Structure 1
Amino acid sequence: MTSDAFGTAALRAAVLGAWRALPARLREDANTEEDHARGYYRDRVLVELAQNAADAAARTGVPGRLLLRLVHADGGTVLVAANTGDSLDAEGVASLASMRASSKRPDGRHRSVGRFGVGFAAVRAVADEVSVLSTSGGVRFSVADTAELLAQAAADLPALADEVRRRDGQLPALRLPLPADGRPPSGYDTAVVLRLRDEVAADEVRGLLRDVGDPLLLGLPSLVEVLVEDLTSDAPARRIADVEQRWVVASDEGELPLALLADRPVEERAARDWRVTWALPRHGTDPATRVVHAPTPTDEPSSVPALLVATLPLDPTRRHVASGPLTDAMLDHAADVYARLATEVAATGGDALALVPTGFAAGVLDGDLRGRLVERLTRTPLLRPADAGDAPDAVLVAPGNALALLGPAGHDGRALAALGRRLAGLVRLPPGRDAQARTVGVELRSLADVVEDLPGVVDGEWRDLYDALTGLAGDPQAREALGALPVPLADGRVVRGARGTLVLPGALAERLGPEVWRTLGRWGVRVVDPAAEHPVLLRLGAVDVDAAGVLAHPAVRQAVLTQADDDDLAAADEVTDAVLALVAATTRDDDTPPPPWLGLLTLDAADGEPTPADGLVVPGSVAARLLDERVMAPVALAALDRWDERTLTAVGVRADLVPVRVDDVLVDPLALDPDAQDDAALAARSLDGWEDYLAHLAERLGAGAYVGEATAVADLDAVADGAWPDVLERLATVPRLRRALVEPVRAELGGTAPSYTAWWLRERAGLGLAGPFAIRAAVAGVLPPVPDVLAGLDEGVQRALGGVTAFDELDGPAWSALLAGWGPAGSPVPPAVAVAVWAAMAPDHPPELVPAVVGPGVVALTHAEDAAVAGAPMWCQRTDVAAIVPAADPRLLADLLDVPLVDELADGLVGGDPGETADVPEAVLAVLPDAPATWVEHEDLLVDGTPVEWWVEGTGAVAVVHAVHLEGLAAGLAQAAGRWADRYVVEALLAEPGRAATVALDAAWRAPQER
């Protein structure tokens, strides 16, 4: 027999009485139950049961434990939801049977989660038979029993009967409680038992059970454990507890001002306490964070990467948050708690920026919440300073006060730490958090911007800074960004950017001293402080140099060039001291000429007069002996005492004759600028007559020719009287001087010309070297002998100064001089000399006299206007036409001499007796295969009416050879065959045909090209 411990009979009577009195109440209750069960709560059955369990545990102050068990029983599927906590009582039964009132009123000790007593109605979504069994008793609700009771109540009330009939079984079962027997499972105080309506409902509940997880405990803090058992399937039992192990949780609670509840329903106004919980998954993400929990899941979407559980006011559907002042206040509290959650994450070394929402808001509520979160996070210290490393006690920086590096530089720990020690507010950002950082106000800056803000004073920690930046310098973009890196200089300044600075070895920097560095610094030479020397500076554009590298700096050169114009003697001395100190520290090859601008460095002469270095000589030196001291004064002894001879000669003071090098020589004397200060112009300062020499080169190589480099011996115009023999001896024996004398200059596109030194000695020294002279017997008697001043010097020097060994060595001007000075017209010329002259002759302009054939075997000087060039030997018989100049290339020589070709002056027509044709002997044709096979023998042979001994018309095998005797026939056949040198062999064969075998053997000793 079921006991009625909770007065259910009275409750049923009251409800049935109300329905009988007003059938419309039945419709209202039925509609309300159906709306809550099937509309509002269909997918919230387990949530509502858990919520009731949490409230029961909270009321008694015990840890809430919930059992959700699905079993097969009595031919169906049953869901058991058992919980610890408050047992069922009469007030609770009345609340269960009421659709609009709840027994869960605030009592000052706890806040209930459920409201209005409507959550329990969710069970109707899946069950028509519901039991609530407690240690104190039980009740049940049944659609079937409700229908039976209504049938009895409506027996005499047609209106009520019609309403029952019209609802077709959709009746308010939860309004009529019935006594029930049974007890909850062991260890639990109350159990809700649902006989599921059908298999569809069972599948739905089974799916809800699978979804039960940590968010249920996070939303219902009174619950500490949920057991899920699906005994209808093979799914293993699950125990959900200890959520703090899987979630980082931050919570807060308090009491709301009464004014905020003024627009809420009466039942809520007494519930002034509030609570907010944020939970962040320790690993990965959780789908529960996608909606707001209030405290159970709502339909409000969330884009915040943590789960929000808060006592937000809901609309009647309990699926959406109601807008208004109360919601705004709760969102403010939520933002404050969220900031504490972020602080906890940051304090434990976590990625606090992962909590910053980015992208678009998921809805109106989400947008309102996100704005508050971003505002709080901006002011909350969350970020580790860049120089904090892993120190646990690091003082975190609020994003609004922070700056961070963009790109790979922002993740280089060493670089960040070094930069952070020098820039306040620089923080470390986790990879991929640029968007989040920007959202909360972190100033994101490029490496270049950060480097520009680095202070110029780093308290001697330069190398530490550079060492930390070494890893960045390997990336081209980062290397460019480091372009404004502060660099301390040896003169005490700090400049921005390593590019163009000079890095010297420490020992050298110490040797030169601070005074030199300060002087160089005023000139714009930026030498890195040795204490800051580091390889990274070289990667960023600094130049690793020695003292010579500093000396080559344009600023040093400019200081020397302007020294002469400085009226401040102290400033001029400062330039001299600094430059000489650099030169003294320079390792130099003595054969390498110093830069020409160094010769302008001002030094004191022995008489105290400030003088350019290249106008001074070292006392007692070779230069002092060879050069006139009126032109080249000795340097002051004080300078020699302070600076050694090597240092002084390195800046141009002469200890010997010196070669200078003029670079980029363009043969254009008109382009010379007397005020030019380029190296070429400065080098030419000490070369007397340089402009005239360029004019000479223009004649030889053509105006505009590019010579490139020319080396010349300087100061030749300062040679002392009587010193020329010694000077010439030195030029001949000192290798670097000899090269400047004997090596010609060469044009880029071809052609050579004498060196400046050779030209000056021949043209301006007054040594009698203006014309060519004979070195060997081949040209002796035609050219003058070696001048006395060159006697004893080697042939190479003599040749450079105009000596020749053969006529083909003469250049154009020498030829012109030779032909002009040979003697008067009619002077005989030895035939051998004439042949050599004809083969090599190449004057630079047409001569007045030329050697020419004036008779058989006779050569004499002839006026060019009486001469003609002949390309065939037979014309030497026609001296009646002109004096004949033989030539292998007649037209070229005729152009050089500006004379006509002889065949332009005579027709060369054969006359006299007609002659007789005869065969050329076979022995001759064997020697001259290209000769004609016949010839014409004459008693008298005339050409243009002039008697000759032989003549040839045409060439080769088709030529016609005319002759009056065998000697002439041999000459004619040899010319026709192009074998003039074989004419005497042919003549011998013609005279003695039997010598053919001997002549054939002679070919074995001829050169291949002669055979």
Structure 2
Amino acid sequence: MNDPFDTARLRHAVLSSWASSPTRFREDANAEEDLYLGGYRDRLLVELAQNAADAAGQDARLRVSVVDRELRVANTGTPLDRDGVASLASLRASAKRDGVGRFGVGFAAVLTVTDAPRVVSRTGGVAFSAERTREAADVTGRVPVLRLPWPTDEPPPDGFDTEVRLPLRDDVDPAALLDEFADQAVDLLLSLDGLTRVEIGDRVWHRDGDELHAPDGVTRWVTVRDSGELPANLVAATEQRPQWTICWAYSTDRAEHPVLHAPTPTDERLSLPARLIATLPVETTRRRVAPGPATDLVLDAAIRAYPRLLDHLEPAARTNLVPLPDFPLSEVDDKLRQGVLGALRATPWLPRPTGDPVSPAAAALLPVDSPALADLLADVVPGLVTAEFAAPEHAAALAALDTRRLHAADLVAAVTGIDRDPAWWHRLYDALAPLAEVDADAREALGALPVPMVDGRTIPGPRGALLIDADLGAVAIGDAVHPDAAHPLLERLGARRGGAHDLLDSLRDDVERSVDDAESGMDLTDLHESVRALVDATGARPGERPWLAALALRDSAGDWRRADELALPDSPLLDLLDEDTPLGVLADDTARAWPRDVLTAVGVLDTFAVVVDESPAGPDHDLADEQDWWESLPEPPTRMTAVRDLDLVADDAWPAVLALLAASPETWQALHEPHGYTGWWIGRHALLDGQPPRTLRMPDADALAGLYDAAPPDLAPSVLRAVGVRDHLDVTDPADAEDLLDRLADADRPVGAGATMRAHAALARAVRDGDVAADEVEAPIAVRTLTGAVLPAAEGVVLDAPWVLGVLAPERAVTVGLDFDLAEPLADLLDLPLATEVVVGVVRERAEPVAWTDLGAVVDACDLVGVPVPPGGPIVHERLTVRIGLIDHEVPWWVDGGVVHCTDTTAGLARALAWATAHWPARHTFAALLDDPDTLLP
């Protein structure tokens, strides 16, 4: 058989050495066993792939298959040569030169699965066999398999340059072995720089640049590689190859990669998120990295290269590459962790909203994941990164890099003092709102957020500011947030929500001091524009906000005056006031510039102004004689509306004034308010036909004719009643009583008997009911009697009993009518005696009493009238005489000490019966029935 690699010579040399030195045989056997049972016990595929990568350079392909229980590992690259075969058979020597590999001592790993490995190549092949070695060495037991090569003429498969063929021992499961190799495929591609493709059975892994693709076509790894030359002194000291290489590999599946590869796996545990494969000096066991300058140089290069992995990841995935705080797992791990953290901390890789990256050391994180907030603050906060890095999943990584996380107070400080339009501030509040919802501390800090106001100012914090609901344009109100900036967050932070009404109310202080401000030279233009716009927006009515009347406006002479001290130039009110009225006229230019309803709402007079107080506390509304009105009320009012400036009306203008008041709903209501000030004042101080209204009667109140003059008939009855014009007698106070008594004492007044009695009865009831105290009224000097005549008061008596009229001259009797119970209070009021006190009579004749029930006509009369027959009975006289002083008077009836006397006549019996039944007004009915019981029959 052809022997291109002169294996016969190699076998002869080995067999000769064994023959000359039996210990050499045992040394070779032990060394080989140490290799495949020790350092290479689990490195079969790794070692074969390593040798394949060394042989192929930068584009090695590896294929692993099982054919008839024979494991075959094919590779591309430099085929087998004489030196390579010598290396295979030497155990210690290696043919690796200038970075191009051949099979070396690592080939001993094949003995873990076979006793008869073969290597076939385009240039020839060699075979090893434990059985043939025993025969050649004439020994039994364990032998060094890889010391004696034999030639073989098997060709490699098409497309490959070399193939290792390993007949599997019976205890090896081919399928399990392929699965084990499949688990190592990624490790091979990552660890071996020259290897680009691995086929295991029907599964293929391949590397394309910095990306590694799995059999399913998904990119699962990204890599960063670097290389360099070791200084000559380090090469000599470590026996390393001059060139060093590193590869950082990161799995997008984020699987654990716990050990360092140098370049094959070692026992150096790492806690980094990425795998490091580097040509580091290792101990002879290939399990541990050999410390020293060469190791430090390569690790430093690895640290510098690590941040380049970030370029292969989407921004949101980059923090996965940050080693999280943990205890280092080895000295190498400690060095790498610290170095990588320092490199990541200083490298600009965190994206900013502006596009340019920033290093974690110079970066600032938002307190909340808000892209909108990040965009707004990108040019405000130095180093601000995109919002996604504020999410919780990035917190631990960025904390490990000491990246500064902003708090709400930092954001407030950053935006304080910057100049932005109101809409920008609204967007900022909107972005910060979620933070305020979940974090009480943040909410407190946000309370200092700048807030743009309508007047152009920016205030530090929204507390007390006013959020406007309505669209009020550019009304310049100091307390109002600019409408374009208004946001619910501001209300959460202490702003008040309201519309035009609230905004208008916020001007109260400015309005109330506006006259002083104007007189001191202050420009009121903004205030005027604000008031005008807000009054118009609210639809405020005259008197609705009394404080608006203090607004300073110019009068026709150019002076500043309160709005309620001015009238519109064309106001009809001007023709109704006194010539010396203090009321001014509004300047023409203001009257033309402002809507009329706005001017009247702020208090400028078009008609009479109305004062409205929903909860009056006292007579403090600056109304004429208000104190007197308040004291006249039976109890304080719970609400009041009152027309002001009534004391400025000209005496002859009152009919027109009343018509004007009746024409406006506001003044009409004030005029008609029960017990209201307006009607009270007009009733006492206005003049209709030269008299106050309360001294007049309604034109149709005929019962008051003579006592009061009729009011002008051209005014509405409701208006006349509202201002006190009388339609009935009503005595409510001492003034009413004195006025009525004066009218009764006026002999020029044609007061009839009926009106006189009604007037006396009204006066007596006022005294009886306590409305008028008799000692509060000055007694009249004259009184009007039953006949209608006016008599000096000293000559009059008050009729308190009807029988007295039988002897008393009617010209002296002052009567209350038929209700004699009112006689005593009237007498107190008039300071007159009662008639029964002056006229004291004695019945002259004696007679017998008669029971009422014994008088049939009386019984029938009571039955017809519907009253019970009274108990007892009168003393009936044939003739009844009463002596008054020295004079006898014949009378039809009399009452003496409560005993009723009467003559046996219709007149006497009827009066006695009416008095006894307390039905005095029915006396004439009784008389008719006593004369003729059929009087009431139809």
TM-score (norm 2): 0.69
SS of equivalent residue, structure 1 residue 862: helix
Q: How does 1:483-494 map to 2 (within 5 A)?
A: 493=457
> 1:356: how far off?
3.1
Tell me which residue corresponds to 1:255: 229
Cα 1:646/1:937, change in 2 over 3 Å: closer
**Structure 1 residues 175 and 637: CA distance shift in structure 2, 3 A:** closer
Equivalent of 1:71, from 60, 67, 71? 67
Cα distance between partner residues in 1 of 2:233 and 2:707: 132
Q: What is the identity, as a one-letter code, of the residue corresponding to 1:275?
A: T
Aligned partner of 2:669: which letter?
R
Matched, 1:552 2:504: yes
Distance change in 2, residues 1:140/1:938 (3 Å): same
The AA in structure 2 aligned to 1:688 is A
Paired with 2:294 and 2:183, the residues of 1 have a C-alpha distance of 31
Listed as ranges, the matches of 1:429-828 within 5 Å are 429-430=387-388, 432=391, 434-435=394-395, 436-445=397-406, 449-450=410-411, 453-454=414-415, 462=421, 465=424, 472=431, 477=436, 493=457, 500=466, 524=478, 528=482, 534=484, 552=504, 554=506, 556-566=507-517, 569=519, 571-572=521-522, 574-575=523-524, 577-582=525-530, 588=536, 592-593=542-543, 595-603=545-553, 610-618=560-568, 621-628=571-578, 630-635=580-585, 646=596, 649-650=599-600, 654-668=604-618, 684-685=621-622, 687-691=623-627, 693-696=629-632, 700-701=634-635, 706-707=638-639, 710-744=640-674, 754-762=675-683, 775=698, 780-781=703-704, 785=708, 788=711, 792-803=714-725, 805=727
Q: 1:278-293 residue pairs with structure 2 within 5 A? A: 278-281=248-251, 284-285=252-253, 287=255, 289-293=257-261
The alignment status of 1:373 with 2:364, answered yes or no, reads: no
Q: Secondary structure at the match of 2:547?
A: helix
Secondary structure of 1:85 counterpart: coil
How many angstroms apart in 1 are the aligned matches of 2:800 and 2:276?
Answer: 125
For the 8 Å contact 1:741–1:755, the answer to whether it is kept is yes
Partners in 1 of 2:289 and 2:258 — Cα distance? 15
Q: Distance in 2 between matches of 1:37 and 1:793?
A: 132
Q: Using the TM superposition, give the Cα deviation of residue 103 of structure 1 relative to its aligned residue in structure 2, in angstroms.
A: 0.9
CA 1:717 to 1:312, structure 2 compared with 1: closer, same or farther past 3 Å? farther
- Kindly tell me: are residues 694 and 33 of structure 1, through their superposed partners in 2, closer, same or farther at Cα, counting changes over 3 Å? farther
Task: Give the superposition deviation at 1:796.
Answer: 1.9
* Residues 200-219 of structure 1 mapped to structure 2, 5 A cutoff: 200-202=172-174, 204-219=176-191
**Separation of aligned partners in 1, 2:426 and 2:569:** 52
Confirm whether residue 314 of structure 1 aligns to residue 282 of structure 2. Answer: yes
AA aligned to 2:109 is A
Residue from 101, 105, 110 that aligns with 1:123? 110
Specify whether residues 217 and 798 from structure 1 end up closer, same or farther in structure 2 by C-alpha distance, changes over 3 A only.
Answer: same
Q: Amino acid of the residue matched to residue 191 of structure 1?
A: E
Alignment RMSD: 5.8
Amino acid at match of 1:5: D
CA gap 1:218/1:771 in 2 versus in 1, 3 angstroms:
same
Q: Which residue identity does 2:106 align to in structure 1?
A: G
1:532-590: CA deviation from partner (whole Å, max 9, x where unpaired): x74876986799999x7798263x43334334445x85624x12x44444456567469
Q: How many residues align?
A: 808
Stretches of structure 1 that go unaligned for 5 or more consecutive residues are 154-168, 230-235, 389-394, 510-516, 673-683, 745-753, 868-879, 881-910, 917-923, 950-963, 975-979, 999-1011
State the partner residue of 1:514.
Answer: none
Deviation at 1:179, TM superposition (A): 2.0
Matches within 5 A, 1:838-917: 843=769, 858-860=818-820, 861-863=822-824
Question: Do the aligned residues in 1 keep the contact of 2:567 with 2:585 (CA within 8 Å)?
Answer: yes
Deviations 1:354-385 (A, max 9, x none): 43344646734445423322322233232443
Rounded to whole Å, the distance in 2 between the matches of 1:823 and 1:44 is: 141
Asked if 2 retains the 8 angstrom alpha-carbon contact of 1:131 and 1:180, the reply is no
Q: Deviations over 1:192-236 (max 9, x none)?
A: 33232334454542331332433311211212222222xxxxxx3
Task: Give the aligned partner of residue 16 of structure 1.
Answer: 18
Deviations 1:656-699 (CA, angstroms, capped at 9, x unpaired): 44323334424356xx6xxxxxxxxxxx34x2344555555xx5
Paired residue secondary structure (1:665): coil
| Equivalent in the alignment of 2:322 | 356
Secondary structure class of the residue paired with 2:357: coil
Mapped pair 1:179 → 2:150: yes
Normalization by structure 1: what TM-score? Answer: 0.64
1:749 corresponds in structure 2 to none
Spell out, residue by residue over 1:232-291, the C-alpha distance to the aligned partner (whole angstroms, 9 max, x if none). Answer: xxxx354645473634332111123467679xxx6x43424221112345xx41647454
Deviations 1:610-664 (A, max 9, x none): 5433234456743333334544143476766885694994486754443233344
Q: Which amino acid aligns with 1:177?
A: L
Offset at 1:48? 1.8
Q: What SS does structure 2 have at the residue aligned with 1:197?
A: coil
**Is the aligned partner of 1:297 residue 2:265?**
yes
- Identity over the aligned pairs, expressed in percent? 30
- 8 Å CA contact retained: 1:504, 1:544: no
Residue type of the alignment partner of 1:342: L
Q: Aligned AA for 1:341?
A: L
Which range is displaced more, 177-186 or 770-779?
770-779
Gaps in structure 2 of 5+ consecutive residues: 214-218, 746-752, 776-797, 804-816, 829-835, 837-848, 855-861, 876-896, 902-908
1:85 corresponding residue in structure 2: 77
Q: Secondary structure at the match of 1:210?
A: helix
Partner Cα separation in structure 1 for residue 446 and residue 79 of structure 2: 74
Corresponding letter in the other structure for 1:732: A
Which residue identity does 2:386 align to in structure 1? R
Secondary structure at the counterpart of residue 669 of structure 2: helix
Aligned equivalent of 2:94: 103
Q: Larger Cα Rg: Structure 1 or Structure 2? A: 2
How many Å separate the matches in 2 of 1:815 and 1:174?
A: 147
Aligned residues of 1:503 and 1:543 also touching (Cα < 8 A): no
- 1: CA distance, partners of 2:738 / 2:116: 141
Note closer, same or farther for the CA distance 1:632–1:175 as it changes in structure 2 (3 Å cut). same
Q: Which amino acid aligns with 2:245?
A: R
